[in-house]
Amino acid sequence: MQFKVPQFIDIEDKIFGPFTFRQFAFMIGGAGMVYVLYKALPLWIGIFLILPVAGFTVCLVFVKINSKPFLYYVEAFFNYVVSGKLYIWKQRLVKKSDHKEEEIATPTKVSNVPMLSENRLKDLSWSLDVQDRQDNQQ
């Protein structure tokens, strides 16, 4: 028996034209707040409140940051401001016996790697260059 697996479950359905229900609700709410401010206050005072409300409404409806809606970031900011912040620094205590064991263990790891001096490294490099030139000439 085959089952159809739902696809595109993270995309909201477009209900009101090109807008989702959430976008439409934000538009209606923002337009309602702008209308109330326009009617309740004189225009020269209300414009200072109408513009931020209208801008915030436009951001809620249309702006996406990193393919996440603007509301996600508003919610994260609100949670950050409201939640308590407590930063505690704890000093790490190192025992002297543990520190000595680490110092002893370190040279054994390094001793497996062959040491090359600069002169030896230059000699090897020069011999490889000379050998490559001889091979190219033949």
Across the range 22-30, mean pLDDT stands at 95
Q: Which range marks the domain in which residue 46 is found?
A: 14-82
Give the predicted TM-score (pTM) of the model: 0.56
What stretch of H or E contains 20? Answer: strand 19-20
Q: Report DSSP state, residue 83.
A: S
What region, left, alpha or beta, does residue 54 occupy, with left being phi > 0 and alpha being psi -120 to 50 degrees? alpha
Task: Give a yes or no: residue 18 inside a domain.
Answer: yes
What's the pLDDT tens digit per position in 53-99?
999 999 999 999 998 999 999 999 999 999 988 888 878 877 766 55
Phi, psi dihedrals of residue 8, rounded to the nearest 5°: 55, 45
Instruction: Check pLDDT > 60 for residue 130.
Output: yes
What's the pLDDT tens digit per position in 9-20?
777 888 888 999
Task: Give a yes or no: residue 107 inside a domain.
Answer: no
Domain count, the chain: 1
Q: How many Å from the N-terminal Cα to the C-terminal Cα in the chain?
A: 71
Task: Tally Cβ neighbours within 10 Å of residue 30.
Answer: 19
pLDDT of residue 26: 96
Task: Give a yes or no: residue 25 inside a domain.
Answer: yes
Lowest-pLDDT choice from 17-26, 74-83, 124-133: 124-133
Task: Give a yes or no: residue 24 inside a domain.
Answer: yes
What band does 110 get if pLDDT is binned at 50, 70 and 90? very low
Gap between the Cα atoms of 89 and 84, Å rounded: 16
Across the range 24-28, mean pLDDT stands at 95
Residues ≥6 apart with Cβ < 8 Å to 65: 73
Task: Give a yes or no: residue 51 inside a domain.
Answer: yes
pLDDT of residue 65: 94
Task: Give a yes or no: residue 33 inside a domain.
Answer: yes
Task: Give a yes or no: residue 119 inside a domain.
Answer: no
Task: Give a yes or no: residue 94 inside a domain.
Answer: no
